Structure 1
Amino acid sequence: MTTTHTIPTSTAERQPGSDFARLTKELKAAGLLDRRRGYYLLRMSINALALAAIAVAFVWVGDSWWQVITAVALAVASTQLAFIGHDAGHRQIFRSHRNNNVVGHLHGSLTGISYQWWVAKHNRHHANPNHEDQDPDIEIHALAFSRAQAETKRGVYRWITRNQAFLFFPLLLAEAAVLRISGLVALCRKELRNPWREAALQLLPLAAYLAAAFIVLSPVKALVFIAVHQGLMGVYLGCSFAPNHKGMPIIAEGQRLDHLHKQVLTSRNVTGGLWVDALLGGLNHQIEHHLYPHMPRPNLRRAQPVVEDFCARHGIPYSKTTMVRSYAEVLRHLHDAGAPLRRAS
């Protein structure tokens, strides 16, 4: 699939709203929209045990360079906690906003990501995936996802964009820090409701995290521990989200698509077994997730063949590939988007 193409006008003009209704009826009849509270209880229990084990290991190992391994484990655990926060933000766990928000705020405070800020941003992405003017996930200063975006870059961002395919994975090292800082910036700008609660949820866990690192470890080891933890968490998060839309068609300004076409045509699934589901937090079933954001994570795998068959019967392109090929497509797309800047240099 061409990396910087837009959706053909003929496809964009199709408005088969009843198709989505028929698909929804089929999935609902199979029970795939029902909540899976038992699954989430088990998943959160496993995460809690893992986090407790890492905390015990951190204290037991003490001031040692072996803590680098603890930092790696914490990066994995933190990302798995972020996946639960993501699911809570989509109301996949409970039906009530309140219960999901309690889980989401708790997990946001543990990962350092402002839940309230992230949900607002992520909902904008879901409403307009790969729309240059409306999707915040493709409005990144250091990256361009189309040649038109690349032409707007200036200064150091222009140099980064020119070489973005080579710099993409190194840049992900900063992703966790960027997410944390973005929430703090939103708090300082008074963009969040209940600012005192948000300040407590973001600043108190941060203070405890820094205190633990610098009390148990020497200053140099503490800094290395934090860098490894935050850096690898950023790479893990970025590698979980990047294959989902990057390199898929861009919705041109003025194009109007129905929900079914908008979500399917701009999303990509990553194939693999249950280990891929666990590794990527279910986000590998991105098409199904975007069609039904409130569908519980364990139901996405069962919904996938139903949705793919439905798309085949209705002539809707359905994109899926392996994990390795998905990253290759992302890098080809980024390289292509930066081509005008390389020619101009």
Structure 2
Amino acid sequence: MTFEEKPEGNGSLVDESQLDLDAKHQANGKPGASGKAKLSARQEAYAKCNLPRKSLNTYTWQEIQRHNQKTDQWLVINRKVYDVTGWADRHPGGRQVLKHYAGEDATDVFRAMHLDPDIVRLYLKPLLIGELAPEEPNQERNKNARLVEDFQELRRTLETLNMFNANLGFFFLHLTQILILEALAWVIVWHFGSGWLITIFISFLLTVAQAQGSFLQHDMGHLSIFKKSKWNRLMHKFVMGHLKGLSAKWWNYRHFQHHVKTNIYPKDPDIDAGPLFVLGDLQPVEYGKKKIKFFDYEKQHLIFCLVFSPFLIPVYFYPESILHMCHRRHWEDIAWAISFYIRYFITFGPFYGIFGTMVLIYLVKILESPWIVYITQMSHIPMKVSKEENRDWFSAQVLATCNVEHSFFNDWFTGHLNFQIEHHLFPTMPRHNCHKVAPLVKSLCAKHGLPYVNKPMLKAFGDILRALKKYGALWKEAYCTHSEI
């Protein structure tokens, strides 16, 4: 959902070259007769902003909420009503992100996901169709207006304290750590040979490098590290493609949906596990009543340990990323991913051969996978998983996430993703600042009676399995009860 581009100041994940709007594309995203002339998104936005506009209509929330279909999408930002239907297919964060907020107030999620909203407002102006009627509240009536106001005030305070400014040195040291581990692995195998003990040891080093690379690319995907947006984009491509062998655009497509509708089934792809798992208090019961049984979900916690955690990255994520790149013809991402394999074959091919190098790559992925799976799922699977409830941004993120205790090791081992509450509330905040704002977030939770969950790491890992076992038991009970009826 991020598409800033600023010559000076904060850059972003997506720069101007990504937002070039080809003249061959019409508003519906279909190719036109000519495909040569190009106009940057900024130029197009400025041109549209200068067009004469009719007086704004006023709408009630009841009217706005009816426009929540794929072919009819309105949303509200700061009391302004926008028709984003025609823009959805060209939205850099993916059309699903806009669809998920159609018919709703998107003020806080808009601010959360964009580094510099002033730039993005250039693209909103041509989409403006009206505003809320004067008698209408700022948010839907089911939301706690005071909580929303308090959260927005908190964000303004954090901006004043420069909590959204990234420390370049922090991320440079992180990248240096990864490159040193990769180089050390090559030096060891070059000096000591490719015996099985050496192979195990360098696999461990490469696994640490890959896991830390996952955390670094996560930052590059959210933050403005450099002043020039093109450098942010280049670093994200380099870390995700060259160091990880995955597609940056594929990650954006999945990850932004996860952020805007965290733990909302089926809008969050991270908890839409298909037939593999049943999550939350509702999905297991629905599956049980409908007699859906791809396997015995009562044992899904064992499947998670033995199958899902070691094979998610090598067996599911990598093929999905490749298919995404090829299907959507993301040639730049394909080139970066290919460079990952070329580097491995050049570095380790002389010692292991082609087949042995591929085995090494997938061995490292199998070792990395449980690390990443447990880190990412410890803050979500045990928390509230529900269908759409149209909650305010603060409540939705706090209820769907939890933290793991702050310590030097925990911060390093999790890539600071142990501060998931703060990260989900403020995705564009550098992770080295999350622990600084945690007391303020905790205080706001206490003021409004919301839980602020902070756990030891081992308990957080165990809660994943306990939650899966609980959800499996709910499925079993519904399945058996329905059978008797």
- Correspondence for 1:159 among 274, 295, 310: 295
**Against the structure 1 CA distance between its residues 218 and 40, is the aligned structure 2 distance closer, same or farther, given a 3 Å change threshold?**
closer
Deviations 1:278-308 (A, max 9, x none): 1100100000000111111110111111211
Contact 2:282 2:386 in 1 (8 A): no
Number of the residue aligned with 1:186: 324
Give the superposition deviation at 1:312: 1.3
Quick check: 1:18 aligned with 2:153? Answer: no
Give the superposition deviation at 1:131: 0.3
Number of the residue aligned with 2:366: 231
- Correspondence for 1:246 among 377, 381, 402: 381
Q: 1:157, 1:55 → 2: CA distance? A: 47
Q: 2:281, 2:384 → 1: CA distance? A: 13
Quick check: 1:140 aligned with 2:273? Answer: yes
Give the counterpart letter for 1:82 in structure 2: S
**Number of positions where the alignment pairs a residue of Structure 1 with one of Structure 2:** 331
The answer to which structure, 1 or 2, has the higher relative contact order (CA under 8 A, 6+ apart) is 1
Contact 2:254 2:269 in 1 (8 A): yes
Deviations 1:97-146 (A, max 9, x none): 43222111101121122111101210110000000021010012322213
- Correspondence for 1:292 among 426, 431, 436: 426
- Correspondence for 1:74 among 184, 206, 214: 206
Q: 1:97, 1:338 → 2: CA distance? A: 46
Q: 1:97, 1:337 → 2: CA distance? A: 44
Number of the residue aligned with 1:262: 396
**Against the structure 1 CA distance between its residues 17 and 78, is the aligned structure 2 distance closer, same or farther, given a 3 Å change threshold?**
same
Give the superposition deviation at 1:230: 1.1
Residues 201-216 of structure 1 correspond to what in structure 2 (within 5 A)?
201-210=336-345, 212-216=347-351
Contact 2:182 2:206 in 1 (8 A): yes
**Against the structure 1 CA distance between its residues 125 and 213, is the aligned structure 2 distance closer, same or farther, given a 3 Å change threshold?**
same
Q: 1:173, 1:62 → 2: CA distance? A: 27
Q: RMSD of the TM alignment (CA)?
A: 2.6
Q: 1:44, 1:220 → 2: CA distance? A: 29
**Against the structure 1 CA distance between its residues 241 and 340, is the aligned structure 2 distance closer, same or farther, given a 3 Å change threshold?**
same
Query: What percent identity do the matched residue pairs reach?
Result: 25
Q: 2:302, 2:224 → 1: CA distance? A: 36
Q: 1:59, 1:148 → 2: CA distance? A: 54
- Correspondence for 1:174 among 282, 298, 311: 311
Give the superposition deviation at 1:241: 0.3
Q: 1:209, 1:156 → 2: CA distance? A: 43
Contact 1:58 1:67 in 2 (8 A): yes
After TM superposition, the score normalised by the length of structure 1 is: 0.87
Unaligned runs of at least 5 residues, structure 2: 1-140, 481-485
Residues 305-320 of structure 1 correspond to what in structure 2 (within 5 A)?
305-320=439-454
**Against the structure 1 CA distance between its residues 211 and 278, is the aligned structure 2 distance closer, same or farther, given a 3 Å change threshold?**
same
**Against the structure 1 CA distance between its residues 23 and 333, is the aligned structure 2 distance closer, same or farther, given a 3 Å change threshold?**
same
Q: Secondary structure at the match of 1:204?
A: helix
Number of the residue aligned with 2:134: none
If each structure's helix is expressed as a fraction of its own residues, which one has the higher value? 1
Q: 1:155, 1:107 → 2: CA distance? A: 44
**Against the structure 1 CA distance between its residues 12 and 68, is the aligned structure 2 distance closer, same or farther, given a 3 Å change threshold?**
farther
Unaligned runs of at least 5 residues, structure 1: 1-10
Quick check: 1:106 aligned with 2:238? Answer: yes
Give the counterpart letter for 1:250 in structure 2: V
After TM superposition, the score normalised by the length of structure 2 is: 0.63
